[in-house]
Amino acid sequence: MNLAIQQSFARLGIERLPLQALAIPVFAIAILAMMMLPLPAWMLDVLFTFNIALSLVVLMVAAYTKRALDVAVFPIILLLTTLMRLSLNVASTRVVLTDGHTGTAAAGKVIESFGHVMIGGNFAVGIILFAILMVINFVVITKGAGRIAEVSARFTLDALPGKQMAIDADLNAGTIDQAQARLRRREVAEEADFSGAMDGASKYIRGDAIAGILILFITLIGGLVIGMAWHGLSAGKAAQVYVLLAIGDALVAQIPAMIISIAAGLIVTRVGGAEGEDVGGQVLRQVFSVPRALGITAGVMALLGVIPGMPHFVFLAMAAACGYAAWYLNQRQKSAAASSIAVATVEAPEVSTEATWEDVQPIDSLGLEVGYRLIGLVDKAQDGELLKRIKAIRKKFAQDVGFLPPQIHIKDNLEIKPSTYRVLVKGVVVAEGEVFPGMSMAINPGHATQSIEGTVVRDPAFGLPAIWIDQRQREAAQLSGYTVVDTSTVVATHLSQVFHTHAAQLLGRTETLALVEYLSRVDAKLMEDVVPKLVPIAVLQRVLQALLEEGVHIRDMHTIVETLASTAPRSLDVGELVSACRVALGQSIVQQLFGRAVPLPVMALDPEIERMLVSSLTAGGSSDFALEPNLAELLFQRTADACQRHEDLGLPCVLLVPDRVRPLLARILKRVAPRLRVLAHAEIPDNSSIRVETIVGAAS
């Protein structure tokens, strides 16, 4: 027979069929056979006993497993065991209804024994107890395990893109190699598949519990009708036989179901744990390792034990047991602490004065140092107003620019002046200023009508003329046309300006990964197709930094990613990708610079200078200009003068140039005119008109 089977599979192209490969098909066929074919009573006894033993094996495996993926076949086990119980219910119900009139042993000794134990001579008590067991299994265990499985599956699938990005980041950073990356990706995929499968398999358990209740009532009612109508049994005799058989049949199937439900609950509810630690070890370590908790429990139990009318012996014995456990755990912890101190005392003197890696302090991405007079502005205990402003600044920056900047690490610095603050980006001081708590800054926007008394300074954020005044002069300054702000607003405005001018530096790898993870939840399909398949994370970060370096907001990440998707197959050159993104973001850039102005007031290059720049670019290659010193000096001077005229007129400082020279010209002109924005012709939308206000290079 075995040879014939092997020959049949060989004709199908399968040379050898392992015996374990037949296990699941044979088991499934056996389940169908139990549903369709009548089984003798002795075989029902064997199968019910096997079902109970199998459920206990599954429970023990769940209790001693180290991690959920060690039993990745658990959803399949739930399906097969559920089908087996249901098929046994069908087979036993057939026997009960056909042969139940012959006596309580008609369906085998197992069902009869379980029925006698459960009923105990009283049918009403048996039905009530079985209903309680069903409520426990259906309402408590099954429902809870199903809910946990559903939530776990949802969270696991939501976190899947972020985990994949983290693996790619570790791979790009060289922390892991390709083999380790493949292994971790496979584990992440298996974890997601397992969570989804457990979510679905939990529905089997819930359905099994409902089916058990229905089968009980169907068997009970059907047995009573058949016994009295077909076999002429009295109502009392029929109830005695069929109630016992129905309850025994349901009980012998539902006890394994409850055991399997408990096993499923153990699998889906386990969280964390030490490596190589099973569920039992995790529970004992985390629950029964706190001496104080056991000691308090012992005291409460002892107090209950001395109350008149209470069972003194039981409560006092439990109090003594908890007290001894608390004392024993406390002694063990003291011994362990003493041992560690002794070891440290022996080994520490030789290395205690040596430098370690713990002495290396990481540099904060963004920091704020304040003098001691400004501590009240950032002190939570004093409800520092600046702390609230900083939260608002980060939120507004994220809404305007398109990514969440890093947290600001605030600390006091006794080495700087008491009223001074400094802003640091990656450990480098990029801005500083001096403010005076209790005073206000009156900023002259250019149309103040009269002078006021105070300390003349410059606004630290934008360099506008300003005066520090007393609070009593605030109203007079406002009436004179000054913009009056308090100390917190001055520092907050300066911080906001630093955020925008150093946005490219603030977008690190961590922020880029967080942005990609967020976009993966918003537009999963697009991100899955582009990042990191077409565009690596490192390239995406450099493109975004280049856009931010030129003052372009990255809120429209959908357009940026779509542009990268169409450009990356041709080239991964950052310059080309940035140029393509700028063209795609043309309308957004124009609106950001000009608002609703029509036509767009721009500066343009003198045609002769423009021709010389294009030729210089051709001669010098694509990486830099080959400018003559005189031409460079002329260009720098005329550009700075033109920007100053535009600022005096209240116009945006925007220079319109040919597409080829825009990237390099923007880089070199930034040194002489930081507020200048250089646009290419292709970046102007087709429906926008321009008006050239100034020709850069023309004689004044």
Please tell me the predicted confidence (pLDDT) of residue 9.
45
Q: Can you give the pLDDT at residue 471?
A: 83
The pLDDT of residue 285: 64
Of 354, 491, 500, 369, nearest in space to 428 by CA? 369
d(CA 282, CA 225): 53
**For residue 344, what pLDDT is reported?**
44
**Three-class DSSP labels, 438-487:** CCEEEECCCCCCCCCCCEEEECCCCCCEEEEECHHHHHHHHHCCCEEEEH
pTM: 0.50
Instruction: Report strand pairing: 366-370 vs 420-425.
Output: antiparallel
274 by DSSP, 3-state: which?
coil
Domain 596-700 has CATH 1.10.10.10: no
Which one, of 548, 556, 647, 660, lies nearest residue 605 by Cα? 660
Cβ atoms of residues 260 and 74 within 8 Å:
no
Measure the CA dihedral 19/23/25/26, to 10°.
100
| Amino acid type, 422 | R
**174: alpha, beta or left? (left if phi > 0; alpha if psi -120 to 50):** left
Q: Which residues contact 428 (CB under 8 A, 6 or more apart)?
A: none
CATH topology of domain 366-498: Glutaredoxin (3.40.30)
The pLDDT score that the predictor gives to residue 1 is 42
* pLDDT by 10-residue block (mean), the chain, 700 residues: 48 51 73 76 80 81 73 76 79 75 68 68 70 74 70 67 64 66 78 72 69 74 76 70 74 76 72 54 65 80 82 82 82 68 47 66 86 85 80 88 90 88 91 90 80 87 87 82 86 90 91 90 86 89 92 91 91 90 91 86 87 70 63 83 85 88 86 86 88 76
Q: Coil, helix or strand for 692?
A: strand
Show the DSSP H helices in 352-451 as ranges.
375-378, 385-401
**Rounded-to-integer distance, Cα 301 and Cα 680, Å:** 81
| Cis peptide, bond prior to residue 685, ω within 30 of zero | no
Q: Which amino acid is at 514?
A: A
CB atoms within 10 A of CB 458: 12
Tokens of 627: 């400018």
In sequence order, the 6+-apart residues with CB closer than 8 A to the CB of 88 are 34, 44, 47, 48, 51, 253
Q: Which CATH class is domain 507-584?
A: mainly alpha
pLDDT (0 to 100) of residue 351: 47
pLDDT of residue 546: 92
